[in-house]
Amino acid sequence: MRADVAELAVEIGPLRLRNPFLLASGIWGESGESLAGAWDAGAGGVITKSIGSAPRPGYPNPTIESYSDWGLLNAMGLPNPGIEEYPREVAAARARGATVIGSVFGGDAEEFAELARRLAATGVVALELNLSCPHAEGYGTEVGSTPDDVAAIVRAVVREVRVPVIAKITPNTPDPAALAVAAEKAGAAAISAINTVRGLAIDATLHRPVLAHGLGGLSGPAIKPVGLACVWQIYSRVQVPVIGVGGISTSEDALEYLMAGARAVEVGTAVARDGIGVFGRLVSGLSERLDALGYRSAAAAVGAAHTAPS
């Protein structure tokens, strides 16, 4: 028996997570049984697919392109069964004991607010706002790309719901911290960063984009530096907790995010490469690393890289 085992539970505002590892939105989140499966595999909480007002088939295939073991480009196109049907999936996951965080996307503040209200009613413990969905089909920019947009959406949602609201920030911006500050001022209880990085794949032999939609979002190891930079910048400008996302597949990656300022992390693409068992490995790996470095808890490591002795 080891005398000291680091405490892995973390708090995101009023929310207590049994460990810092959340299933990222869009991964395994279409069905309640899958959400429950990720919870059973050891996730500290699971985030639903981003849910919209109406059922959406998403873009046609090809929807993904993968790059050896360092990256994945996707343009799923936010497929989801819609807010009408989705509550049964949340119920299925909750029935199995999962800590479920809802994710919603909309075209404007009003739509976000209405979706949030309805998803909150299913008993999710928090709501994450996907502030990186395209404004309109085929057009490059995103709903949450200016501080004003972000503030308007967060404000509208916070008025509607009592659960903590997490603003998920895009990396495709000159100043992610400015978006986070806007979200915090508007009442967000936490900031998550990042969503995918805008990208495109071309097949030269076929002289066309690979993804049916053309533009997509890059995820996986390649974006870890990008996510770390955003978390680093955001952490030093907001008071609310930050949740790190982007390229996390090992406990070392997660620890780097904690030290950059994340209080919890989300894991997406790693599920594709390593299977859902990745959560078990992340949990035990982080525990060992924290012990080895002498941290008594995951929380104690949060932001450590900002205060390194020189």
State the SS3 of 141-160: CECCCCHHHHHHHHHHHHHH
The residue (of 14 and 277) whose beta carbon lies closer to other proteins is 277
Q: Does 205 bind a copy of itself (CB under 8 A)?
A: yes
Residue nearest to ligand FMN (CB): 26
- Residue 100 parent element (H or E): strand 100-104
CB of 103 to a copy of itself, least distance (A): 21
As given in the structure block, the two tokens for residue 182 are 């806007």
Q: Does 233 bind ligand FMN (CB under 6 A)?
A: no
* Alpha-carbon span 267 to 44, nearest angstrom: 11
Using CB under 8 A as the binding criterion, the count of chain residues that bind other proteins stands at 48
- Of a copy of itself, ligand FMN, other proteins, none, which one sits near residue 48, judging by CB under 5 to 8 A according to partner kind? none
The H or E element that residue 66 is part of is strand 64-67
- Element housing 307 (H / E): none
Q: Which is nearer to a copy of itself, 140 or 275 (CB)?
A: 140
Helix (H, G, I), strand (E, B) or coil at 41: coil
- Say which residues have a Cβ less than 8 Å from residue 300's Cβ, sequence separation at least 6: 6, 290
- Told to check if 269 binds ligand FMN by CB under 6 A, we report yes
What x-and-dash track marks residues 201-220 binding ligand FMN by CB under 6 A? ------------------xx
Instruction: In angstroms, give the least distance from the CB of 49 to a copy of itself.
Output: 23
Q: H or E segment at 190?
A: strand 190-193
The answer to whether 71 contacts a copy of itself (rule: CB under 8 A) is yes
Indicate which single residue of 16, 88, 159, 208 sits in contact with a copy of itself (rule: CB under 8 A). Answer: 208
**Sheet containing 197-199: order of strands:** 64-67, 71-74, 216-219, 197-199
| Contact between residue 130 and residue 116 where contact means Cβ atoms under 8 Å apart | no
Query: In whole angstroms, what is the distance from residue 254 CA to residue 286 CA?
Result: 8
Stretch 239-258 residues interacting with ligand FMN (CB under 6 A): 245-248
Q: Which is nearer to a copy of itself, 71 or 164 (CB)?
A: 71
Residues with catalytic function: 133
Q: Does 37 bind other proteins (CB under 8 A)?
A: yes
Q: Contact between 239 and other proteins (CB under 8 A)?
A: no
Q: Of the candidates 175, 275, 277, 296, which one interacts with a copy of itself according to CB under 8 A?
A: 175
The one among 99, 145, 170, 195 contacting ligand FMN by CB under 6 A = 195
Q: Is 273 in the site for a copy of itself (CB under 8 A)?
A: no
Rounded to the nearest angstrom, the gap between the alpha carbon of residue 141 and the centroid of all alpha carbons in its chain is 19
Angle between helical axes of 251-260 and 278-293 (0-180°, round to 10): 60
Per-residue DSSP letters for 116-130? Answer: HHHHHTTT-SEEEEE
- Provide the H-helix boundaries in 53-108: 87-95
Nearest C-alpha neighbor of 148 from the set 106, 190, 185? 185
Q: In terms of CB distance, is 201 or 295 closer to ligand FMN?
A: 201
What's the CA gap between 64 and 66, in Å, rounded? 7
Residues that bind ligand FMN (CB under 6 A): 24-27, 49-50, 72, 74, 76, 78, 103, 130, 168, 195-196, 219-220, 223, 245-248, 267-270
Residues that bind other proteins (CB under 8 A): 26-31, 33-34, 36-37, 49, 55-58, 60-68, 72, 74, 76, 79-82, 85, 203, 205-206, 208, 210, 212, 268-269, 271-273, 275-276, 308-310
Residues that bind a copy of itself (CB under 8 A): 67-68, 70-71, 73, 140-142, 145-146, 170-177, 197-209, 214-216, 218, 221-223, 225-226, 228-230, 232-233, 252, 255-256, 259-260, 289, 293, 301, 304-305, 308
